[in-house]
Structures are given as structure tokens and as C-alpha cells.
């Protein structure tokens, strides 16, 4: 199939059509001809086209009427208008109606090719941007959030309710639970989807530079400020800004952040002028901001301003039944990314993956599966070993008994089994939670969460 640009030339003058056709074909284009607007529209209904080059004055419908019909039926199809020296005002009108450009007759060959090339390049760029935007929307849409657990279904309902509003959103959750993915999903389902999505990691920028990154700075405002710098809030105007790990922001910057939230106003560092921005703010954190307020590390007024809508992302530990779905999704994703056939996962591997606590949550599971797939060398079924830090059980671990005749609550039995393991690890560590967590392959926060969930009273334990 030919990849050369397809141009439809519309002119009632046969000689003009011929000259234009020769020049465009010599330039590597595929050219079709029409002598009036009726022929042009009939051709467009049955043949794809990349550009229409039309005369303004023709028998029957004029070039402007043709332009209006093209804009209604094929809104992404560019049209270039040709007009005489005495009708420049017609060319201006054509541009107002949506023409991509215009040419003055008699058309010079070099000018013709320059204009046509520029219009085709702009069309290609628009198509590329549209495709990229579609891919981003598909990637971050709600439908790409994986999971059918009770916790995730509740989250989906909250997302549907909040996405199409302008409300500030605070996303809380452990590291690796997908806070940035949720923020993207909110943006691309909102009325600001055509605007910018700007993310800034507040934990990764030193305090001295964070204000400049957020609000910009003027030339000469500090050592090294050799030019004016536009901050993230200006860059996100009309769109959404994600302040990742907002709990790390210094109180001095928090005050200026509050001003933006309240009235959209800010000043660049070193500047005197007040600037206005229209952004939707999404903030994320793995900290308990309520506790940070109580301990004086986070402004109470800013906390309540952020706390309009709060989404609490569940740890993978609380997403019962979601691991098989996530494993299937990541195996397929990375198999295709690395040019491998999509394997099935062995039942033993899947059962082991479901038992592992995944302290790093979905992110840890995702990277672990990609690594296992790469090292598997195309094996099918795919065996996925547990992470190297998987807990090694003590020889004193009580055995799980046979199923009683009357049956048993599996959930209660597993909880009691987990409780005994945690108590043993804590007792062997002398009550030092950091040591017990390391022995069990958990983060300290994950261990603390399990202690509270299982109702373990630390003061009742026996430390050797």
C-alpha cells in the first residue's frame, strides 16, 4: 500500500488542475482531481484523503461552501483555499471558517509545496498527539485498575463519584499500592483530561528548591537563577497537578500551598507580581496526615483543605482474591513487552504467591513477575519463585492439623495460624518489632498492622 500523501485538487480550470497535479506528483504525492464541489464531495465519500486543495470561485457551490461541508463531515481533514489577488478578504474568511491555509493565484510551485508540506506535517502531528492521548487514556482508565475484591470495588465507586468533579483529592496508602495510577485515572476521567497532568515528587526535591519547583522563580532571585523559571502550578494551568508525598513538604512551603488552594494565587520566588492558576490538586501520601497534624509537622488548615475527598488505597494484603488477576495481567503485559509467548502460571506458584504478604504491595508483585518471566527463558508453565526475603518458618512452627469431620472456618484457621507465627517471632526477638519484621520478611508498618488486626497484646507475650 502506498504511503504517499493523498491530495484532492478541486478547480474548474482544467489547465490549473493539470499544473497542480504535475507539481504535486513530482513531489511524491498521490493526486486526485475534481472540477467542482459536487465531484469533490462524491470522491471524499468513497476515497480516503489527507488534504483538499480547492479554488474559491467555481460554478455551483463555492470553495467556502465546500469548506463548510468538509468541516462538518470530515473535521480532521485539512483544506487549503486558493484565491485570486483581489479576494484576499475571502482567504481571511476561509481561515476563520477553518481552512488550514490559503494560496494566492497564480500559485507559485515553491510556495505550493511549502504550504502543502506544512499542513500535512501539522496534520500528522495532530494525529500523533491524538493517538498518544488515546493510549494514555486507555492506560490510565478505570477499566485498567485490576481487582474485584471488596476493597477495590468500594474504591471504584468512590472514583466514579469524584473523577468528574473539580474537588481536591487526597490519596492515602502504603508504598506500592498505586497512588499515582489512581491520580492519573481521576485526571483522564475528568473535564480536565485535555489539559496537562503534572506530577512532582515532594520527597525527592530539597526544601530549598521545592518552592521554586512549585511556583517558579524570577531571574536573579537566588544564586544560579540565570533565567526566569516557570513552576509546576503554571505548567499545570487548566489541568491537574499531583503533589506526590505531600507529607514531606516543609511548613514554610505549606503556607504558600494553602494560598494556591484557597484562591489560585501565587508568587514566583523573588517576584512581586501575583499570578493566577486554575488547577485541580491531587495529593498523595503514605503517611497518616492526621497524626502529622497532631504532632505539629503538618498544618491543620492545609490538612482540612486537602481533606475534601480522601481515598484510602488498600494494601495488597487486604485485597482478597486479587492476586491471581494481577499475576495474569502482569504476565501477559511483560510477555508481550519482551516478545515472549504468554505462558500459564503453575498452580503451585500461584498458590505460593497468594500466601506471600507482599510488603511492597502491587509494585513489588509487578517487578517480581517481570523478573521471573525474563529469567524463565520461555518456560510454560511458568514457575514464579517467592522473593528471596520470604519468611523461613521456625522448626517449632505448629503443624496445620487435618480437616475436622465437621469442617472448619478456613479464614479463622488461617488467622489463628498467622497469629501464632507472629507471636513466636515477636517472642524470639524479645519484643523488638524491627527484628521480628525482618525475620518474617515484612516491613515494620506491615507487621504493626497485622498485630493490631489479629488483636495481639504485646504486654502479654513472654520474652526470653
pLDDT attached to residue 414: 76
> Is residue 429 located within the same domain as residue 330?
no
Give the CATH number for residue 184.
Answer: 3.40.50.300
pLDDT attached to residue 130: 64
> Is residue 242 located within the same domain as residue 202?
yes
Alpha carbons 76 and 70: distance in angstroms, whole number: 9
Average pLDDT value for residue range 65-82: 94
pLDDT attached to residue 315: 94
The three cell numbers of residue 352 are: 505460593
Whether 380 maps to a domain, the answer reads no
Whether 398 maps to a domain, the answer reads no
Domain C-terminal end among 279, 314, 349: 314
Give pTM, 2 decimals. 0.60
Backbone phi and psi for residue 50, each to the nearest 5 degrees, phi listed first: -105, -20
pLDDT attached to residue 25: 95
Domain C-terminal end among 67, 102, 131: 131
Whether 401 maps to a domain, the answer reads no
Average pLDDT value for residue range 350-377: 92
Chain center to CA of 406: 50
Question: What is the tens place of the pLDDT at every residue in 130-164?
Answer: 666 565 555 655 656 888 888 998 999 899 899 98
Whether 441 maps to a domain, the answer reads yes
Decide: 327 and 369 in contact? Cβ < 8 Å: yes
> Is residue 222 located within the same domain as residue 322?
no
Residue 50's nearest CA partner among 98, 158, 122 is: 122
The three cell numbers of residue 302 are: 492545609
Give the CATH number for residue 43.
Answer: 3.40.50.2300
Any residues with CB less than 8 A from the CB of 385 and at least 6 apart, and which? Answer: 349, 372
> Is residue 256 located within the same domain as residue 324?
no
What's the total number of domains in the chain? 4
pLDDT attached to residue 397: 41
The three cell numbers of residue 254 are: 505549606
> Is residue 157 located within the same domain as residue 277?
yes
Whether 450 maps to a domain, the answer reads yes
> Is residue 237 located within the same domain as residue 357?
no
Whether 83 maps to a domain, the answer reads yes
Question: What is the tens place of the pLDDT at every residue in 194-241?
Answer: 899 999 999 999 888 899 999 999 998 887 788 888 899 999 999 999
For residue 280, what are the β-bridge partners? Answer: 240
> Is residue 284 located within the same domain as residue 302?
yes
> Is residue 321 located within the same domain as residue 310?
no
Q: Which residue range(s) make up the domain with 442?
A: 410-460
> Is residue 307 located within the same domain as residue 324?
no
> Is residue 321 located within the same domain as residue 307?
no
Give the CATH number for residue 369.
Answer: 1.10.8.60
Residue 323 has pLDDT above 70, yes or no: yes
pLDDT attached to residue 395: 35
Across 114-118, 129-133, 422-426, the highest mean pLDDT is recorded for 114-118
Average pLDDT value for residue range 83-96: 77
How would you label 36-52 residue by residue, b for 16+ Cβ within 10 Å and e otherwise? bbeebbebbeeeebbbb
> Is residue 122 located within the same domain as residue 20?
yes
Residue 403 has pLDDT above 70, yes or no: no
> Is residue 307 located within the same domain as residue 166?
yes
Start-to-end C-alpha separation, the chain: 79
Give the CATH number for residue 455.
Answer: 1.10.10.60
Whether 195 maps to a domain, the answer reads yes
Domain C-terminal end among 79, 111, 131: 131
Whether 404 maps to a domain, the answer reads no
Amino acid at each position: 500500500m502506498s504511503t504517499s500523501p493523498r491530495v484532492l485538487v478541486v478547480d474548474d480550470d482544467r489547465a490549473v488542475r493539470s499544473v497542480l497535479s504535475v507539481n504535486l506528483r513530482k513531489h511524491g504525492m498521490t493526486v486526485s482531481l475534481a472540477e467542482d464541489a459536487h465531484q469533490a464531495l462524491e470522491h471524499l465519500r468513497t476515497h480516503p484523503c489527507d488534504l483538499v486543495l480547492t479554488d474559491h470561485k467555481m460554478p455551483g457551490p463555492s470553495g467556502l461552501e465546500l469548506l463548510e461541508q468538509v468541516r462538518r463531515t470530515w473535521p480532521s481533514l485539512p483544506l487549503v483555499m486558493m484565491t485570486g489577488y483581489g479576494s484576499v478578504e475571502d482567504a481571511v474568511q476561509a481561515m476563520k471558517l477553518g481552512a488550514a491555509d490559503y494560496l494566492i493565484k497564480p500559485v507559485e510551485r515553491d510556495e505550493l509545496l511549502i504550504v502543502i508540506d506544512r499542513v500535512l506535517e501539522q496534520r500528522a502531528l495532530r494525529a500523533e498527539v491524538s493517538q498518544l492521548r488515546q493510549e494514555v487514556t486507555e492506560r490510565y482508565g478505570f477499566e485498567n485498575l485490576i481487582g474485584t475484591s471488596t476493597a477495590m470495588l468500594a474504591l471504584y465507586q468512590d472514583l466514579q463519584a469524584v473523577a468528574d468533579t473539580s474537588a481536591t483529592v487526597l490519596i492515602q496508602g502504603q508504598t506500592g499500592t498505586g497512588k499515582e495510577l489512581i491520580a492519573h485515572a481521576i485526571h483522564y476521567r475528568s473535564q480536565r483530561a485535555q489539559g496537562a497532568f503534572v506530577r512532582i515528587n515532594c520527597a525527592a526535591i530539597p526544601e530549598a528548591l521545592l518552592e521554586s519547583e512549585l511556583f517558579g522563580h524570577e531571574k536573579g532571585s537566588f544564586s544560579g537563577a540565570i533565567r526566569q523559571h516557570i513552576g509546576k502550578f503554571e505548567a499545570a494551568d487548566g489541568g491537574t497537578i499531583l503533589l506526590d508525598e505531600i507529607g514531606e513538604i516543609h511548613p514554610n512551603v505549606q503556607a504558600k500551598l494553602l494560598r494556591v488552594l484557597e484562591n489560585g494565587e501565587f508568587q514566583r520566588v523573588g517576584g512581586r507580581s501575583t499570578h493566577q492558576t486554575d488547577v485541580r490538586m491531587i495529593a498523595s501520601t503514605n503517611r497518616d496526615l492526621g497524626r502529622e497534624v497532631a504532632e505539629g509537622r503538618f498544618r491543620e488548615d492545609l490538612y482540612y483543605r486537602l481533606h475534601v475527598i480522601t481515598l484510602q488505597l488498600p494494601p495488597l494484603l487486604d485485597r482478597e482474591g486479587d492476586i491471581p488477576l494481577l499475576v495474569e495481567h502482569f504476565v501477559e503485559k511483560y510477555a508481550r513487552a519482551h516478545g515472549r509467548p504468554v505462558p500459564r502460571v503453575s498452580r503451585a506458584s500461584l498458590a505460593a504467591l497468594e500466601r506471600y504478604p507482599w510488603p511492597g504491595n502491587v509494585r513489588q508483585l509487578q517487578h517480581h513477575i517481570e523478573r521471573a518471566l525474563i529469567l524463565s527463558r520461555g518456560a510454560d508453565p511458568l514457575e514464579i519463585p517467592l522473593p528471596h526475603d520470604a519468611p523461613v518458618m521456625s522448626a517449632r512452627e505448629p503443624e496445620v492439623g487435618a480437616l475436622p469431620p465437621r469442617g472448619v472456618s478456613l479464614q479463622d484457621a488461617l488467622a489463628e495460624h498467622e497469629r501464632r507465627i507472629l507471636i513466636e517471632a515477636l517472642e524470639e526477638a524479645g519484643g523488638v518489632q524491627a527484628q521480628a519484621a525482618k525475620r518474617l520478611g515484612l516491613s515494620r508498618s506491615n507487621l504493626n498492622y497485622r498485630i493490631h488486626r489479629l488483636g495481639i497484646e504485646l504486654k502479654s507475650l513472654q520474652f526470653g
